[in-house]
Chain A
Amino acid sequence: MSEPPKNNSNGAGAADVIRTDAVIIGAGPVGLFAVFELGLLDVRAHLIDILDKPGGQCAELYPEKPIYDIPGIPVISGQALTDRLMKQIAPFGAEFHYGEIVTALENIRDGLWRVETSEGKIFEAPVVVIAAGGGSFQPKKPPIPRIEDYEGTSVFYAVRKMEAFRGRHVLVCGGGDSALDWTLSLAPVAASLSLMHRRDSFRAAPASVGKMRALVKAGAIKFYQGQPVALHGGGGLLESVEAKGSDGNFRVACDILLPFFGLTMKLGPVADWGINLRENLIPVDTEKFETDRAGLFAIGDINTYPGKLKLILSGFHEAALMAQRAFRYVHPDKKLVFQYTTSSSSLQKKLGVSLKGTRGEGI
C-alpha cells in the first residue's frame, strides 16, 4: 500500500540523517513504555509507526474494550491505557513519526544501526528496539477474485493524493470512518461518487453519516446496499463492480474502487531485515531481550523466548530490562546506578516532578 521507499542512501547528505540514541519500531503499548524506561536512563528515542496514532493493538483493535490485567489498574480500556502511557512518557520528549513504515534496517558498522522509512527518512542510532507487535497494520484486502490485477491502477486501499481521483468515477466500499470521510472528501473531486455498504447503518461518526445522507438526498452521490463480489474490466482498468444485494447481483459502473474494510496485522518488512526469525517471531535472551546482534532488541508481542506470554505486562518488564543494556551502548563511559522513582531526586527531575509534589496529582 505504501509507495516504494525513496532512495536516499546515496545522494542524501549527512544533514538528512536523524541521529538519536534509540529508534523504537512500533508505538504499541510496549514501544511506548520503552520510552519511559529508556528515558529514566537518559536514552533519547524516536518512535516510528505505520498507524497515524499511538497504542498499537490497544488503540486500533480494541480502544473501548476493557483490560483487566494491568497491575494496579483493575480495569482500563485500550484507549485509556494508551492515553495514560502517553502522559507518563511525555516528560521524555520522544519524537513520533506516524504513518511511516520502517522498510529497511541494517547494521552499518559496529555499534551503529541505520533505519529507513517509507517516507525516505533515515535514522542512525546505536540502539534499535523492535516493538513491532503482531506486525504492521495494513488494510484488509477483500478476497474478490483477481483484485490484485487492479491494485495500484484502479483499486486503492488508501488515499494519498485526492487529485489522483479528479474526474474519475469512484466507488467507496465500507461503513466506518475511513469510508465515510473519503466519501465526503472525494465527492466534490470525483466525476461521480458512489458508496456501497452491506447494510443501511454505519459505524462511522453520526455527523459524517448525516452529511453523507444529505448528499445522497441531494443527488450528489449514490448509495448502494450490497457487498462487492466481482470486478469487471481488463488490463488493470476497472469498468464496473459487481455486488450482491438483497435482491440478487447488480453492477455499479466505476473506474476506481476504494475498499475500506479495516486493518489487519501483517508481519511486513520485519521479515526482510535478515533477522533470524522463529515462526515469524524474533528470538531474544531473557536477560536483556537482545537479539543475536548487538544493539538490536526485540520486546513485546514480536519476540519469543521460553515461556513467552503475549501480555502487555510482560512487554513492560521486557522494556525495563532492555533499557539497562541499551544504556551501556549509548553511554559506555557512564556508570549505571539502580534507583527508585519514589526516592531518587535525579529520576524525579527527569520526570519533571519534585518530592514536594508527591502528594499531588495522580496519587
Chain B
Amino acid sequence: MPKITFISHEGEKRQVEAENGISVMENAVKNNIPGIDADCGGACACATCHVYVDEAWREKVGKRAEMEEDMLDFAFDVRENSRLSCQIEVRDELDGLIVRTPEKQF
C-alpha cells in the first residue's frame, strides 16, 4: 500500500497507509486528516479539499483537469502546485507522496 504524508499549515506531519483506486481526499477523510473538509464528497464541486503538492511529486501527480481548474477559482491562495485532492487517484506510483494542506479551506 502506498504511503502518503500530509503536512499541515503548522508543519505537523501525518503519514497514512493509503488505499489504491480511491482519491487522496478519500484517504485523508478515512484517516481523519485535519485541514481537508471535502464538503461535496469528492464531486469536484466545492474546492474544500485543496492541497499543495510537494514540488518533487508534481509531475507524477499530473495536471489539473479543466473542471478542477474552474473549481480552484473557489479556493484561497491558489498556487502553481495547487490541486483538489479528490481529483488525484492513488496508485502505486504515488507511494511516498507528500501534500500540504492550506491554512484554511474556504
Contact = CB atoms under 8 A, between A and B. Distances in A.
B73 A197 contact: yes
Contacts of A126: none
B57 interface: no
B70 interface: yes
B106 A61 contact: no
Nearest to B80: A246
Q: For this complex, into which size category does the number of interface residues on chain B fall? A: 10 to 19
B2 to A, nearest CB: 28
A315 interface: no
Contact of A262 (B69, B74, B77, B78): B74
Interface residues of chain B: helix, strand, loop or mixed (majority): loop
A203 B78 CA distance: 16
Contacts of B43: 61-62, 65
A198 interface: yes
A227 B73 CA distance: 10
Nearest to A198: B78
Give the most central of B46, B74, B77: most A CB within 10 Å: B74
Contacts of A261: 73-74, 106
Interface in B68-99: 69-70, 72-74, 76-78
Nearest to A229: B77
Contacts of B74: 140, 261-262
Given A143-B103, A143-B104, A261-B106, A65 B76 contact: no
B45 interface: yes
27 contacts: A61-B45, A61-B46, A62-B40, A62-B45, A65-B43, A140-B74, A141-B106, A142-B76, A143-B76, A143-B106, A174-B73, A175-B73, A176-B73, A197-B73, A198-B72, A198-B73, A198-B78, A199-B69, A199-B73, A203-B70, A227-B76, A227-B78, A244-B77, A261-B73, A261-B74, A262-B73, A264-B39
Interface of A: 61-62, 65, 140-143, 174-176, 197-199, 201, 203, 227, 229, 244, 261-262, 264-265
